[in-house]
Structure 1
Amino acid sequence: MTEETVGAVEVLEVDIDAAAGLTGELIAAIGEVCDRAEDGRGAVVVLRIEGAAGHVLAPDTGVLTKWEGVLRRLERLPALSVAAMRGPCGGVALDAAMAADYRVAHPEVGLVLSTGSGEVWPGMALYRMSRLSQRAPVRRAALLGMPVGADDALAAGLVDELSQEPAVGVARLVEHLAGGWGADLAIRRDLLRSTAEFEGALGGHLAACDRLLRRAASA
């Protein structure tokens, strides 16, 4: 993990190399980033992702369980997470990218669900992709293992921006935001993604609104 400060924003960065597969070191690195983001305010987590296709995710389901646990932490952080994506994005790269709030991808990126054996990996990246989009490229990827190209990924909402230099796009986004996403980012995420009953979502919404009104009144 590396860190820097852009304006008032603490930027926490972690490198993800899909060619290396899923390792304890990678799980620990993202866990450390989550620790730091949960402790502070106004942070942005940047995932610098170098993709690889056809790589089996993990040696066993125990490691996968730990991996999904740390990705779930990432999704619930009180900090924005941004992915800078290069290469044929499969395996751990695709998992991490789909868990981020915002994705900047190289125009030649491809989202790949298949493994080295040619089968479609039934991982949680598929779940996250389906939550983002139900368009035809997602169905073809899930059912037939067909890669999702950059243009299709952008049109389907699987990536938010294409850039020849994804890291530059991420840096520009961080500088533009300057911490303006607010303290209740996690609540707003839950409202977007929630499958809970209306009453359950309403409770979190009202609590977040009350906190915002209190902050506004004291400003």
Structure 2
Amino acid sequence: MNSIPEPQLTLDGSEPLTPATVRTLDALCDAAEDATGATTPLVVAVTGAPAARMDVPLPLVNKWERAVRRLEKLAVPTVALVTGDCGGTALDVLLATDVRVATPDARLLPLAGAGTDEVWPGMALYRLANQAGVAATRRAVLFGDALDAERALALHLFDELAADPAAAFAPVFEKLTGGAGTGIRRQLMLDASTTSYEEALGRHLAACDRTLRAAVEAAS
């Protein structure tokens, strides 16, 4: 049995977004992309939410979102272990992962800080609306209501609740390991709501062709 990897990244959303944060996530994506043929899941631990509005330069936000998008498009499965409140950069990364296991006290906080009505400058609201729907996230977006763990689980924003997220992740680790083609399937799923049937058909056929070629190569 494969050993469960320690989180390759621990991200605290209560801390300011800095160039170092972007470099750390980019380096993690570099390593995953350079590991040709690797299928071991990439694990991140996320916690924390901004306590107040943070002044973040827009060019830095742009670099951060490019890094988060790289994480979202990696070929390997990605897993988030969530503890407590989750907002800011932690929420950005959480919503870009494939599997999310959270503690029962976890809450998703999409605004820029407690007592503010400002939007966190990342793309968390975009991903929330796409993944859970506008109606389901309306109060969190308009009024700053936190999405508690049970609500997030019901909306499929979390996959499981457990006092020890790492231990709860263990039973599905073997299923994720060896998940060749995860990136392709994920992209087809993400594209489904934004592309026409004709365009999606071309991408599905291309994905099938790549899969068949890989099978032939593996058999030879």
TM-score range, shorter chain: 0.7 to 0.9
Alignment of 1:50-199 (within 5 A): 50-56=47-53, 59-116=56-113, 118-122=116-120, 123-134=122-133, 136-179=135-178, 181-182=179-180, 184-194=181-191, 195-199=194-198
Identical pairs, percent: 39
Listed as ranges, the gaps of 5+ residues in structure 1 are 1-5
Spell out, residue by residue over 1:76-110, the C-alpha distance to the aligned partner (whole angstroms, 9 max, x if none): 11111110011111111111101111111111000
Alpha-carbon offset, residue 53 of structure 1 = 4.3
Matched, 1:36 2:31: yes
Amino acid at match of 2:16: G
Deviates more, 1:147-156 or 1:47-56: 47-56
CA distance in 2, matches of 1:73, 1:189: 13
Q: 1:57 to 1:171 in 2, by over 3 A?
A: farther
The count of corresponding residues between Structure 1 and Structure 2 is 212
Contact 1:105 1:161 in 2 (8 A): yes
Contact 2:50 2:88 in 1 (8 A): yes
Contact 1:47 1:82 in 2 (8 A): yes
Alpha-carbon offset, residue 20 of structure 1 = 1.7
What's the counterpart of residue 203 of structure 1? 202
What's the counterpart of residue 11 of structure 2? 16
Listed as ranges, the gaps of 5+ residues in structure 2 are none
Amino acid at match of 1:121: V
Q: 1:8 to 1:146 in 2, by over 3 A?
A: closer
Contact 2:82 2:102 in 1 (8 A): yes
The two structures, once aligned, show a CA RMSD in angstroms of 2.2
Contact 1:18 1:50 in 2 (8 A): yes
Q: 1:138 to 1:76 in 2, by over 3 A?
A: same
Q: 1:189 to 1:177 in 2, by over 3 A?
A: closer
Alpha-carbon offset, residue 175 of structure 1 = 3.4
Give the TM-score, by structure 2 length: 0.87
Contact 2:109 2:147 in 1 (8 A): yes
Deviates more, 1:63-72 or 1:131-140: 131-140
Amino acid at match of 1:51: G
Spell out, residue by residue over 1:157-212, the C-alpha distance to the aligned partner (whole angstroms, 9 max, x if none): 11111111112223443234221x22x32221122111122222222211221122
Q: 1:35 to 1:145 in 2, by over 3 A?
A: same
Amino acid at match of 1:216: A
CA distance in 1, matches of 2:105, 2:136: 16
Contact 2:15 2:50 in 1 (8 A): no
CA distance in 1, matches of 2:109, 2:47: 13
Contact 1:22 1:58 in 2 (8 A): no
Q: 1:72 to 1:55 in 2, by over 3 A?
A: farther
Give the TM-score, by structure 1 length: 0.87
